[in-house]
Amino acid sequence: MPGKHFPLRLLVGLFLLGSGLFSKLEAQILYASAINSDGVATYFYINMATCESCIVGPTSPNIGTDDFVMLPDGTVLNLSGDGIRRLGVPPSVNILWQTGNPQGYLAGQLAANGLVYLVSSGGLGSYNPTNNTISFLGAWPATVTSVYDVFYINGVLYANGVDASFNSVLIEINVANPSQSIVTPTSLGYTDGEGGNYNGAPGLFYADGSHTLYFYNPADGSVSTICDIDTEYSIIGLTTLPGGLPDYPCLPVCEADAGELAQGGPYQPCSNGTLVFPAAGQITLGPDDQLQYVLFSNPADTAGSILAVSNTPEFTFAPPMQTGVPYYVAAMVGNELNGNVNLNDPCLDFSNALEITWQPLPGVQLSVPNQDLCAGECVSVEALFTGTGPFLLEGNMLSGGNIIGTFSETFGGSTGVFVLCVPAGTAPGPVTVQATSLTDAACACP
């Protein structure tokens, strides 16, 4: 496949000369989706006149990594090979709706009729934002084998791709009958683009999968380097904001870094003990920041599932925690508010998480079939245990509140029998068998 090759695709935006709906492009403002080294995406604002940029959304796996389209209500349509989803208005990345992507749509373009045109190697489709329906509009001409991108240039809807001979082609799309689209050779290879104007010429802004933006002029086939964005993210998509919507605000540049917890665990403390783990390292605190540690239940929603907060790296078992249930601990850094980290701080940061599962304490039930004994006689005591064997049981024999004997027995299973004898000379009266300590394979219960 000629041209640039990247594993991820972007959505390109729409440009219609004289269309008020897309007037934002006249200001040369583009929005980009970009991924970090872990392949997780975020949103960028880019001023093409000055190359100034900023992040307008948090990095999130909810953001599709092939293409994105900003819709007239401010929400975002995301496309990727594993599905199509609609996200909230940035900086929100909440999934409002999602579906699969069996047709393999990997790029989209908002049109003046309110539809988003979707392209795949199989043909042209459309997405209707009013009811979240996807329709297949038709296959490409037989000469087209792959399609990468879709965009408007000077009011005309195009896609680009390759033909059966792997030659780059430009497809002038016939929306009513995609099979009748006009296919012509082009020097334009793979793009992640958005139509627009540069120095008065209509053409295509596109990215190269890193952090450089170019402009393609179809009139003479020239390519100009426009911006090199100062970021470690790789740009995978470009789009514009429909007219009538305010620009998304830049998120603050954050100093907070909760650092790293040394790898350990999974921890399995007893529910009557205290979990103590190494303090976080490589922490960065801003002027108003505070470091705390959290115990939480959902690694996909750390802030929303916090069960306990500590100023030191230690936790004790307390409701609503349950034994036998995996939990997680992490360091947390953010602005201080009333003695605690403000969970609404836009720069709130968490470290990596370590797993913890509280272990239940062992238990024992003792029974004596024959309680009518005389001094010097012996009796078999039955023990029924809960926990994980082996078990070490220690206890006392009491008469009149006085200890008249002790015992220490080990059992491999959940049941056992041991013999106790009433010492000679014991005064008449009740004899009590009392467990004072029980230890199983995990925990001790004094």
pLDDT tens digits, 213-242: 999 999 888 999 999 887 788 898 999 999
244 compared with 322, residue with greater pLDDT? 322
Residue 370's pLDDT is what? Answer: 64
In the chain, % of residues over pLDDT 70? 93
Summarize the confidence of residues 7-19 as an average pLDDT.
28
What is the token pair recorded at 223? 């390519």
Summarize the confidence of residues 63-71 as an average pLDDT.
93
Give me the DSSP letters along 14-50: ---TT-GGGGGGGGTEEEEEEE-TTS-EEEEEEETTT
Among 49, 21, 35, smallest CA distance to 207 is for 35
Q: Which helix (H) or strand (E) holds 193?
A: strand 192-198
Summarize the confidence of residues 142-150 as an average pLDDT.
95
Residue 371's pLDDT is what? Answer: 65
Mean residue pLDDT of the chain comes to 89
Summarize the confidence of residues 279-308 as an average pLDDT.
95
Please say if the pLDDT value at position 76 is more than 80.
Answer: yes
Please say if the pLDDT value at position 209 is more than 70.
Answer: yes
Lowest mean pLDDT among 9-23, 280-294, 388-402: 9-23
Contact present, 440 and 386 (Cβ < 8 Å): no
Round to whole Å and give the CA distance between 399 and 101.
Answer: 77
Residue 104's pLDDT is what? Answer: 95
Summarize the confidence of residues 340-361 as an average pLDDT.
94
